[in-house]
Amino acid sequence: MRILGVDCGTEYTGFGVVEQTGDGELRCVAAGAIRLLPREPMPRRLERIFSELSQVIATHRPELVAIEDVFYAVNVKSALKLGQVRGVAMLAAAASGLEVCEYAPLAIKSAVVGYGRAEKSQVQQMVTRLLRLAEVPESPDAADALAIAICHLHTASTLARQPSATHHPGD
């Protein structure tokens, strides 16, 4: 299974493609950050996010996109801008025919570090360890995006191991 994690931001939007092999091993396929210039008009920044994420999807062919849910913003204006970035990231996924799953920051940190209130540096260190990277990803936004992808893979494999609660008539 191959997942694209996206960490939306109005200055940097991180992306990370993580693959889980048949034996459960996690592997980093790609990671980076889309730098948005504050002096550029918002429509131009949004177009750049759409274009670059669409390119990442076309190149690395993930099966699903995982994205962080909005939980906090400094003010209403920041929340609206972040919402626009998230919408464009979701559009890039949907335009490529991919499903989008959203995860709360606490869920992401819990899945990766085992503690929902972990510091950013702890998340980065665990991402580095889980993916067996030679060094911590250069961009904290890319590390966060990798963490989001890992969260989905851990969540999906946990759900897959649980017996189905579906009741079939006649059982």
CB atoms within 10 A of CB 105: 20
At 22 the pLDDT is 85
Using one digit for the tens of pLDDT, what is the confidence trace for 19-53?
998 888 999 999 999 999 989 999 999 999 999 99
Q: Is the pLDDT of residue 89 over 50?
A: yes
Amino acid occupying residue 148: I
59, burial (CB in 10 Å: exposed 0-12, middle 13-18, buried 19+): exposed
Active site includes 102?
no
| Catalytic residue chosen out of the listed positions 7, 99, 138, 171 | 7
Q: Look up residue 110 and give its two tokens.
A: 């819990």
Residue 20 Cα to chain centre, angstroms: 15
| Catalytic residue chosen out of the listed positions 23, 25, 40, 68 | 68
Residues with Cβ within 8 Å of 12's Cβ and at least 6 positions away in sequence, in order, are: 33, 34, 35, 36, 139, 141
Amino acid occupying residue 83: G
CA 125, 129, 131 angle in degrees (round to 5)? 120
| Catalytic residue chosen out of the listed positions 11, 141, 144, 171 | 141
Using one digit for the tens of pLDDT, what is the confidence trace for 61-78?
999 999 998 766 678 888
Q: What are phi and psi of 30, to 5 degrees?
A: -160, 150
Domains in the chain, CATH or no CATH each? 2-161 (3.30.420.10)
Whole-angstrom distance, CA of residue 33 vs CA of residue 56 = 11
At 73 the pLDDT is 65
Whole-angstrom distance, CA of residue 158 vs CA of residue 169 = 26
CA-to-CA separations, 17 to 39, 125, 140, 152, in angstroms, rounded: 29, 17, 15, 11
Selection from 149, 166, 145 nearest residue 157 by Cα: 149
Active site includes 68?
yes
Selection from 126, 159, 147, 171 nearest residue 18 by Cα: 147
Active site includes 25?
no
Using one digit for the tens of pLDDT, what is the confidence trace for 110-154?
999 988 888 888 999 999 999 999 999 889 999 999 999 999 998
Q: Which residue has the tokens 């006649």?
A: 170
